[in-house]
Amino acid sequence: MQIAKQYGMIQQATSNTSTVRAVFIIDPRGIVRAINYYPLEVGRSTEEILRLVKALQTADRFEVGTPANWQPGEPVVVPPPSTYQQLIRRVENPPSDWNCIDWYLCFKDL
């Protein structure tokens, strides 16, 4: 109950012991990375929760992004260039294993 109180999971309007149907994804450093709230009448999708955890792990491990509905094994998003020089390199000579839609949106396989 102490952890539920610390993370604000107690529904005050319902009771003082009924937790919100929420999923908190907390990384090994103790940082809350995602919070999903569900009404009491709606179940949680374990498949979606696992997909979210795998997406966060992939993003952290490879320093990439994952698009909507991403599944392991699908292409990931390469972060956009952070300098003008990186932008020019990306436009003039993108890596051959990248699929670039435009300078700011490139995908690659892992």
As a whole number, the mean pLDDT across the chain is 89
The domain total for the chain is 1
Asked if residue 10 belongs to a domain, the reply is no
pLDDT tens across 34-86, in order? Answer: 999 888 788 899 999 999 999 999 999 999 999 999 999 999 999 999 999 99
Q: What is the pTM of this model?
A: 0.80
Q: Residue 18: is its pLDDT beyond 90?
A: no
CATH number for 89:
3.30.1020.10
Domain of residue 110: give its range. Answer: 64-110
Asked if residue 30 belongs to a domain, the reply is no
pLDDT computed for residue 2 by the predictor: 79
Cα distance between residue 70 and residue 56, in whole Å: 11
Mean pLDDT of 5-31: 74
